Amino acid sequence: MFGVAMTVLWWVRGRPDHLESAHADHGFDVLGPDLESRGDATAILAGGEPYTAEVLDELPNLKVLARIGIGYDAVDVDAATEREIMVTNTPDGPTTSTAEHTIALMMAVAHELTASANRLRSATGNYVSHQNSMELNGRTLGLLGFGRIGQAVATMAEAIGMTVLITDPAFENSVSIDELLEHSDVLSIHAPATPSTVGLIDADALHAMKPGSILINCARGPIVVTTDLVAALESGHLMGAGLDVTDPEPLDLDHPLLHMDNVIVTPHIASNTTAGRARMERMAFEQVALALAGETPTQLLNPAVLTNGS
């Protein structure tokens, strides 16, 4: 499509040490990550930073934007297509790390690890009488979304004796959202942020959840209405929450979610294990190499770009 392979790659949030051999194999020159050089980039390995039409207009040489991770809601894909820019992602890269992080949050909240550790630090005493944790064996895990990560979470949850329910229109054994909320002891979100999911977990949905249940979100912050979640936690309706994503993100340091013993908030790093990050960067680089060699990337998100302008 582009005639010759390009030789410039601009890094964003990446760690080039993971890909030194790949750079040598493909002969790319590596620039960045610095904003002053990005106008020269023919390819970008992108984190979660926004790529609006205005930003893309500042990248006149860009041919491929390779998202390190699954979600690409920060990328204006239509604007990229109009500018003949390929957009790719790495849907298989973060699966294991994010699924493990989900289980870690679920266990930490269910076993009141933050509250228990804080009581010990404060030497409050009477530790057993203060503990009211949830044993997960025999409980029901509800999965909102059943893609790669949701399926991995289901496998791990079943291994510790949980029953799994799913809500995902792509699967025949999917239950309704109402049924999912009613029966889940833990609700874990693994859906993309779309017009149909943004704000889906609002006051009504949270009220429909079982009293004493747990909410986990390792997907996208805007799916949950933050003020409604705070209210459900403060009222005691929910036992707790584990969040790797929030809305807004990051939260202000004085936000109530950061000061509740029954809530754990991590800074959108669920996929960021050493192995997971290296895997995603390698996969993103492979997409770049295909695109700049004139081949079709295997994870192309905007196939219309292949015929755009032809």
Catalytic residue ranges: 220, 249, 268
Please say whether the dihedral angle defined by the alpha carbons of residues 269, 211, 251 and 132, taken in this order, is positive or negative. negative
Q: Which residues, in sequence order, are CB contacts of 160 under 8 Å at separation 6+?
A: 136, 137
Q: Cα(36)–Cα(250) distance, rounded to whole angstroms? A: 26
Pair 185, 160: CB distance under 8 Å: no
Q: Cα(278)–Cα(18) distance, rounded to whole angstroms? A: 6
Side-chain-facing half-sphere of 50: CA atoms under 13 Å: 5
Give the strands of the sheet with 263-265, arranged side by side. 163-167, 140-144, 186-189, 213-217, 238-243, 263-265
Phi, psi of 9 (to 5 degrees): -130, 130
8-state DSSP, 204 = H
Using left for φ > 0, alpha for ψ between -120 and 50, and beta otherwise, residue 232 falls in alpha
Q: Cα(88)–Cα(70) distance, rounded to whole angstroms? A: 9
The DSSP bridge partners found for residue 242 are 216, 264
Side-chain-facing half-sphere of 101: CA atoms under 13 Å: 26
264: helix, strand or coil: strand
Helix orientation angle between 95-110 and 148-159, rounded to the nearest 10 degrees: 50
Q: Cα(124)–Cα(206) distance, rounded to whole angstroms? A: 32
